[in-house]
Amino acid sequence: MLSNPGYLAIAAMSAIASLARPAYGQSSNITLFAPPAPLPFLHIELAVAASTFVTDLDGTTGQANNQGGNITGAFSGEILKLGTEFETYPTIANFTESLYDNVFTVNTTDGTPILMSISAHIHYTENALGGASLLLHGFGRIEFQTDSKNYLYLNYGDYIAEFEAVYPSGHASMDVFELKSSGHRA
Ligand SMILES: *[C@@H]1O[C@H](CO)[C@@H](O)[C@H](O)[C@H]1NC(C)=O
Ligand SMILES: *[C@@H]1O[C@H](CO)[C@@H](O)[C@H](O)[C@H]1NC(C)=O
Ligand SMILES: *[C@@H]1O[C@H](CO)[C@@H](O)[C@H](O)[C@H]1NC(C)=O
Ligand SMILES: *[C@@H]1O[C@H](CO)[C@@H](O)[C@H](O)[C@H]1NC(C)=O
What integer pLDDT is reported at residue 114 of this predicted model?
A: 98
Top mutation candidate among 75, 104, 107, 146 for ligand 3, by most atoms within 8 Å of CB: 107
What integer pLDDT is reported at residue 4 of this predicted model?
A: 44
What integer pLDDT is reported at residue 15 of this predicted model?
A: 36
Phi/psi class of residue 32: alpha, beta or left (left: φ > 0; alpha: ψ in -120 to 50)? alpha
Mean pLDDT by 10-residue block, N- to C-terminus, for the chain (186 residues)?
43 41 66 95 96 92 97 98 97 94 98 98 85 83 98 98 88 97 94
What integer pLDDT is reported at residue 129 of this predicted model?
A: 78
Please, which residues bridge with residue 137 across strands? 123, 164
Regarding beta strands 69-73 and 77-79, do their DSSP bridges make them parallel or antiparallel, or are they unpaired? antiparallel
Phi/psi class of residue 94: alpha, beta or left (left: φ > 0; alpha: ψ in -120 to 50)? left
Q: Are 119 and 109 a contacting pair, CB within 8 Å? A: no
What integer pLDDT is reported at residue 11 of this predicted model?
A: 30
Q: Are 75 and 111 a contacting pair, CB within 8 Å? A: no
Distance of CA 95 to the CA centre of its chain: 16
Query: Looking at ligand 2, which atom is closest to the CA of residue 70?
Result: 1
What integer pLDDT is reported at residue 107 of this predicted model?
A: 98
Centre of ligand 2 from the C-alpha of residue 157, in Å: 27
What integer pLDDT is reported at residue 169 of this predicted model?
A: 77
Q: Is 111 in the pocket of ligand 3 (CB under 6 A)?
A: yes
| Smallest CA separation from ligand 4 atom 2, residue | 127
Q: Are 100 and 117 a contacting pair, CB within 8 Å? A: no
What integer pLDDT is reported at residue 27 of this predicted model?
A: 59
Query: Looking at ligand 2, which atom is closest to the CA of residue 68?
Result: 13
What integer pLDDT is reported at residue 186 of this predicted model?
A: 86
| Smallest CA separation from ligand 4 atom 8, residue | 94
pTM: 0.86
Centre of ligand 1 from the C-alpha of residue 30, in Å: 8
Distance of CA 23 to the CA centre of its chain: 25
